[in-house]
Chain A
Amino acid sequence: MSERVAVRKTYKLFIGGKFPRSESGRSYLVQDANVSLASRKDARDAVVAARAAVKGWAGATAYNRGQILYRAAEMLEGRREQFVALGVPGDEVDAAVDRWVWYAGWSDKLAQVYGGANPVAGPYFNLSAPEPTGVVAVVAPERPALLGLVSVIAPAIVTGNTVVVATSPTEPLAAVTLAEVLATSDLPGGVVNLLTGRITETAPTLAAHMDVNAIDLTGVTDAELAADLEVKAAANLKRVLRPAPADHDWFADPGLGRMTTLLETKTVWHPKGV
């Protein structure tokens, strides 16, 4: 019998719950694999998919979103060996699972901590509630490839936003494998969309896109590019998360800032009656 030939894997984009190749047909060689090189039009398609997913995801109950995120953590844990084989250190995978679970727990608690009843001088109930801002574009940190990615995606989607992520250009395999985790974890298609390739190609399109509501520049290392993206983002008053400092400790307690920056506060005045 002839020797078995192994199946060589093609790493593709993750848009709207599907794994398409780049519309440009391009790929690039990285980490000994051919990975899709996303174009401006892939970014456009990803925003359309993300926008279509907002209604269902933001409309789901916080409890339901939390359950789906727990499920994603389960799937991530189950693929631990695969991530290790890709070169992700074991403790980083564990930290990523823990991070995911930590954010999942916040889904039905954030409104209590960050919203609530306001004392007003009048016969009214005055209530503030945080709501998702909508479609969030994210430039993921270059490394740690998995923990960094989880640390930017989970806080954005746990509150009901949908994301379009430009992944680490030098270590994209962990991102594509995370997409496989998300695709098998009841997360509706389009809530997370991943674009592998050059940041300089996809990020400016996302920053200028009028149908994107916020942009997270965490992974932008070039100060000039970061400034340019902020200027582009100002055109429709996107919420902006500034780039992370080079010595940022991804294993430390992340705090609530990543979640609360991507929220809009709705305040309601309601007459008390008698």
Chain B
Amino acid sequence: MTATATSARSDLSELGRSETALRTFLHGLPGVDQVGAEQRAAQLGTRSIKTTAKAEAIDLAIRMVDLTTLEGADTPGKVRALATKALRPDPADPSCPHVGAVCVYPAMVPYVAEVLRGSAVHLASVATAFPSGQAPLEVKLADTRAAVEAGADEIDMVINRGAFLAGRYSEVYDEIVATKEACGDAHLKVILETGELATYDNVRRASWLAMLAGGDFIKTSTGKVPVAATPPVTLVMLEAVRDFRAATGRQVGVKPAGGIRTTKDAIKYLVMVNETVGPDWLDPDWFRFGASSLLNDLLMQRTKLTTGVYSGPDYFTLD
């Protein structure tokens, strides 16, 4: 690491100490060119990825899936079935890789942990009063600790959007720091809920805020509001993690979640990752898809490539 990067890093770590410093820094970030970002994202979506490149992209995308179920109707049986699928997504083809992680509510963590024990599949749990985050801090931290104790090694927290939009950045910052502490060794993914942040400028600010406070991943959405992950929002977040690494030397992952349902969409995101932040992020440790129905489409496309015959949803499990 160079001397300048080290000094920049120490400068940035001071920011959290005062509301004014944090506000000055976040509002000093350059604005996002909305038309430019949308056009760039659309342009990157036009690449044609075929044959062997497509096969590799599909396998990579499968390894990046955070197989998610976040329903009030989740039962131990349902999440066990989901975890089993995570280990071996396509029982008919042993060469199919396992997914990145399983993502469930804290109450469901113990059942998933039983199934995943000893495997390389991570166990993520949402916490901090997901999805609204509207609960006292003590409750959120207790939620987080409970999930970690039950066996989660990744925590998906939601930021306090009310405080963020009201401009109380320190409050958001302190909550993330406290949650990170409560996580212990578990990785912390910070959900920005970009659908509620209204502007790309806010997305950029929230991304930096989450990274400054110690988040290991920044994630677009909960999947519980109408607008979830979009390509331009993900582009803005990817630029933020790229700039953050350049300034501090610390690499932060990105997880678009919600609304990504087809292989085509997933491959567009992979192209965007490669073109924006480079191959360093083309790894399940640094890029994930939060999705439930995406996996079946990936498996169908994979089957098409291996057998030459179009497959159908009847041949993959419903979840």
Contact = CB atoms under 8 A, between A and B. Distances in A.
Interface of A: 44, 47, 51, 205, 208-211, 235
Which of A47, A210, A211 has the most chain B CB atoms inside 10 A of its CB?
A: A210
Most buried by B among A47, A205, A208, A211: A211
22 contacts: A44-B310, A47-B310, A51-B312, A205-B310, A208-B308, A208-B309, A208-B310, A209-B309, A209-B310, A209-B312, A210-B309, A210-B310, A210-B311, A210-B312, A210-B314, A210-B315, A211-B310, A211-B311, A211-B312, A211-B313, A211-B314, A235-B309
Interface of B: 308-315
A210 B315 CA distance: 9
B93 to A, nearest CB: 14
Contacts of B315: 210
Contacts of B312: 51, 209-211
A209 B308 CA distance: 10
Nearest to A40: B310
Contacts, number: 22
Contacts of B313: 211
B243 to A, nearest CB: 39
A208 B313 CA distance: 15
A205 B311 CA distance: 11
Contacts of A51: 312
A-side binding surface: helix, strand, loop or mixed?
A: helix
A204 B8 CA distance: 62
A211 B314 CA distance: 7
Nearest to B313: A211
Contacts of B308: 208
A23 B310 CA distance: 17
A47 B304 CA distance: 14
Closest 9 CB pairs of A and B: A211-B312, A208-B309, A210-B312, A209-B310, A210-B311, A44-B310, A210-B309, A210-B315, A210-B310
A53 to B, nearest CB: 15
A67 to B, nearest CB: 31
B83 to A, nearest CB: 27
A211 B309 CA distance: 10
A133 to B, nearest CB: 13
Given A47-B310, A51-B312, 13 more contacts: A205-B310, A208-B308, A208-B309, A208-B310, A209-B310, A210-B310, A210-B314, A210-B315, A211-B311, A211-B312, A211-B313, A211-B314, A235-B309
Contacts of B310: 44, 47, 205, 208-211
A158 B314 CA distance: 24
B48 to A, nearest CB: 12
A125 B112 CA distance: 45
Contacts of A44: 310
Nearest to A206: B310
B205 to A, nearest CB: 40
Contacts of B311: 210-211
B138 to A, nearest CB: 47
A34 B129 CA distance: 60
Interface centre among B308, B312, B313, B315 (most CB of A within 10 A): B312
Contacts of A205: 310
Nearest to A205: B310
A210 B312 CA distance: 6
A205 B308 CA distance: 10
A113 to B, nearest CB: 30
Contacts of A209: 309-310, 312
Nearest to A135: B312
A211 B315 CA distance: 9
A51 B311 CA distance: 12
A231 B128 CA distance: 56
Contacts of B314: 210-211
B143 to A, nearest CB: 39
A51 B313 CA distance: 10
A130 B140 CA distance: 55
A124 to B, nearest CB: 31
A123 to B, nearest CB: 35
